[in-house]
């Protein structure tokens, strides 16, 4: 049996790509079918990004999904070796843990129960997240002591949260889908004495404005700071949709 105690599991919180149910805030900028295809492309790139981070630090990649029964819809959309864990929030949780927090806690508890030394939950909306951020998160959790790691999102939420033990208090009374999620999470970490490592802020692609930022990042990556992950599957889809100029290097 593999000793997972020195490995960090990173699970992408994801819905199965389905028209009308995936990336709905990208409609009408995209059709429901195109939005679902974008969701699938994001998942492919994000799981490949986790695999790349796994060549730097000891990391295993997963998809944390809901509801049960839709596992087959992920076929062909994930990096090889990516595992699946159910995270529908069904198990009992402490009072005050509600909504999306139940699913996050479910995913973390499942991974830690499988023997991993640390568990990270990651959004499914940031295909260009620098690989270095994922590696840094795993490295931070490998340090001794009671600690957590958070990647704040530019909209006030977070794109990543990691722990070494199940910390239900981090998800207690959090106003999900607001600009105060990261701030409240910092407060919860301080209340239970966790050392919180914060990564640089990054953006979520959940509306047309953010989609335009994504397109700009792929077409002209910034020269300063950590390089964005190139998200090749997403880039190829954007080119097919006419939202990104052709890659002339491939035709040269």
CATH code matching the domain that covers 8-244, chosen among 3.30.450.70, 3.40.50.2300, 1.10.3210.10, 3.90.550.10: 3.90.550.10
pTM as predicted: 0.95
**CA gyration radius for the chain?**
18
pLDDT tens for 47-59 read: 999 999 999 999 9
Amino acid 33: pLDDT: 96
Residue from 110, 77, 114, 63 nearest 234 by CA: 77
Between the alpha carbon of residue 58 and those of residues 47, 52, 116, 117, the distances in Å are: 15, 11, 11, 10
Confidence of residue 1 (pLDDT cuts 50, 70, 90): low
Sign of the Cα torsion 82, 39, 11, 204 reads positive
Residue from 220, 215, 249 nearest 235 by CA: 215
Q: Work out the number of other CB atoms within 10 angstroms of the CB of residue 18.
A: 15
pLDDT tens for 20-73 read: 999 999 999 999 999 999 999 999 999 999 999 999 999 999 999 998 999 999
pLDDT tens for 71-99 read: 999 999 999 999 999 999 999 999 999 99
């Amino acid at each position: 049996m593999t000793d997972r105690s020195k490995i960090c599991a990173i699970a992408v919180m994801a819905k199965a790509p389905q028209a009308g149910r995936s990336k709905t805030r990208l409609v009408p900028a995209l059709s429901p079918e195109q939005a679902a295809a974008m969701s699938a492309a994001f998942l492919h790139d994000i799981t490949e990004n986790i695999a790349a981070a796994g060549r730097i630090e000891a990391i295993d990649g997963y998809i944390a999904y809901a509801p049960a029964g839709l596992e087959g819809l992920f076929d062909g959309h994930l990096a090889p070796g990516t595992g699946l864990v159910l995270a529908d929030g069904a198990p009992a949780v402490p009072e005050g843990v509600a909504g999306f927090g139940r699913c996050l806690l479910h995913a973390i508890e499942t991974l830690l129960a499988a023997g991993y030394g640390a568990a990270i939950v990651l959004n499914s909306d940031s295909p260009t997240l620098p690989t270095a951020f994922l590696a840094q998160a795993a490295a931070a959790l490998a340090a001794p002591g009671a600690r957590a790691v958070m990647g704040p999102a530019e909209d006030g939420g977070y794109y990543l949260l990691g722990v070494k033990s199940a910390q239900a208090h981090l998800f207690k009374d959090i106003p999900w889908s607001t600009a105060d999620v990261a701030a409240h999470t910092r407060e919860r970490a301080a209340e239970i004495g966790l050392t919180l490592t914060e990564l640089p802020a990054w953006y979520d692609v959940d509306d047309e404005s953010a989609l335009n930022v994504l397109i700009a990042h792929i077409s002209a990556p910034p020269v300063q700071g950590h390089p964005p992950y190139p998200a090749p599957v997403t880039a190829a889809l954007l080119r097919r949709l006419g939202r990104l100029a052709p890659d002339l290097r491939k035709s040269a």
